[in-house]
Chain A
């Protein structure tokens, strides 16, 4: 219990409660965890039911692109984490640069993903395609899950980019500054969750065979 904050309130002045703000963000992250968790349950059940066909389908994915994308996201987590240290040290330009790099890395991730999907569409591996409907059911399910899960993840990458862009704006105007940066921390927390989801998506789709 925050007797610290409550005492301050009791004495008549409102105290900013950064721990509470972060708590709210963590609770929101749990909802994202469970949202993707539901999809992972679907994945787990279908992989259990179609082990061989999942292995077969996974060979269509480009392991190098997947690995590169994983490194890209891990690095973007590094930069956004560092931006908080920079802000704690009062180094506004460095913090903004680091968040900027994070956004650029996110964009690189999306560009990679675009080319991946584009390639698959070109060879007829998309939901409802004639080629796909001739494949075994496990393969159809694999690609269904692939598009839904990486698609939903990509949507969250976009949202994360928007959130971080807003944080850049706050840093520029000084709303986020050395004495008050919980918003940046919250934005970074969201970004790390996007990274964590990919940490699980990557081996489950790309490293099956």
Chain B
């Protein structure tokens, strides 16, 4: 995005060294600077992620052999419940928007901060509080919740474990999500720099905008649903209790009315990151900008229409099932449009192999596998056989982890120099990419076969015939975990030992690369005036043409 005149070099200190009202750690906990808030989210989120990932490794250890391996069945139930709750509510849903959306989006649109900076801080406090609440509930009398992250009735009403603390934590986290969404929509509508029309915004911002709307409109449904379980446990009102006339399937409808759009909250920003990173390392304008922008909105919309595909085996009406299966197929179309545009961007481009691009390439392939298996699951006749099996587990890990998770790794490696003012070591980054990609696929691909062959999910025991594939998966989990450790160590060590980063190490054309690394407190000395679209690589393309 070229500006009319080059932006002046800032004489301000970077935002880490700004004089704040409070000193030390309090200067962070009481900050209203969107960049500090992004970093706060990153740090807290990494702690939750590593905890949940460790639970995952423990689960895979348990599944190394049939029957008990390291824990009892009840403990295993609490493991997968907590793993799900933490990964979903504390990592993937906040994930990209809370860390990178907060840090980058205002800079990308040429603003000094978000519209409601104090609300932004409140979002993080709620996030921290909700997360701690969830962790503490594990140790309260009654024990960790064992219902699965889906809290299905009637079990969630009858179990003696700490359901209500877990529900409360999820409710608080939902509030955090809503406030972030509200903040982002207002910011994007009201604070774009002069000349930054909607169609000159970076595609990451489009994805954040679409995501924010889902956060606002879908999250309240889970709020009321979880509240109803709590009310049911306290007062026995009967709303979901079959003995009093309630319908447990209605609970599932309400639960998935949020939780399906929630997966689009998870994936949309990841798709946005791909669209953001590809042009830079392809040295090429993104192919089909408007299609990609509109497809984000389309996914947000259509994704809100498909929830009951999680319920094909519970006894819904045939009409309902046909409608939802059809709509599920529809939502793949805007996703596919994105993939086609990405490939077109890469075709005959001048590709630079750097860690961000590698993670993006893994994302694209893994997302496609996840997407295709989603279509398989959306097919009614097949769903009967693979619902509640490992096929589902494989599918959602491919999209949520192979997709968004890797998108997050990519974003980390792309924006790291901007956020921290340092550059990480390239080789360990490449190694971590290799290990995570290999480990990920070794861990999750066998699950499609396991599920197809009948291995149920959330089972701690299994038939001998499934053993080999489980063991392959477990080995995959070790390689994946090793890759994550290498990544984390590389990124943390480079904070202290890495070389200083320049303002624009990758040659990006969006506004965040026009400010220093790290940026000063108010991002810009003067709000820029925008005159072209993002990803303007015409000079590179011209040079490439002339070189022929």
Contacts and interface: CB of A to CB of B under 8 A. Distances in A.
Interface of A: 1-3, 5-7, 9-10, 12, 17, 19-20, 23-24, 27-28, 30-39, 41-42, 45-46, 49-50, 127-128, 133, 136-138, 140-141, 144-145, 147-148, 152
Interface string B108-128: 000010011001000000000
Interface stretch (B55-63, B178-186, B497-505): B178-186
Contact of A147 (B116, B197, B224, B237): B237
B115 A20 contact: yes
A141 B182 contact: no
Contact of B238 (A31, A37, A127): A127
A36 B529 CA distance: 43
B193 interface: yes
Given A50-B245, A141-B244, A148-B231, A38 B236 contact: no
A127 B238 CA distance: 8
Interface of B: 112, 115-116, 119, 178, 181-183, 185-186, 189-194, 196-198, 216-221, 223-225, 227-228, 231, 235-239, 244-247, 250, 253-254, 257, 526-527, 529
14 contacts: A2-B190, A6-B192, A9-B112, A10-B527, A12-B526, A27-B181, A30-B216, A31-B178, A31-B216, A31-B220, A38-B221, A38-B223, A38-B225, A137-B238
A46 B247 CA distance: 9
Contact of B254 (A23, A42, A50): A42
A17 B224 contact: no
B190 A10 contact: no
A19 to B, nearest CB: 7
Given A137-B244, A148-B228, 7 more contacts: A7-B194, A10-B193, A10-B194, A19-B190, A27-B186, A45-B250, A148-B239
A2 B189 CA distance: 8
A27 to B, nearest CB: 4
B182 A34 contact: no
Contacts of A5: 190-191
Contacts of A140: 238, 244-245
Given A10-B194, A128-B235, A147-B237, A141 B228 contact: no
B239 A24 contact: no
Nearest to A151: B231
Nearest to B244: A140
Contacts of A128: 235-236
A6 B193 contact: yes
Most chain B CB neighbours (cut-off 10 Å) among A1, A12, A37:
A1
Contacts of B224: 35-36, 38-39
Contact of B197 (A1, A17, A148): A1
A6 B238 CA distance: 53
Contact of B239 (A10, A20, A50, A144): A144
Contacts of B178: 28, 31
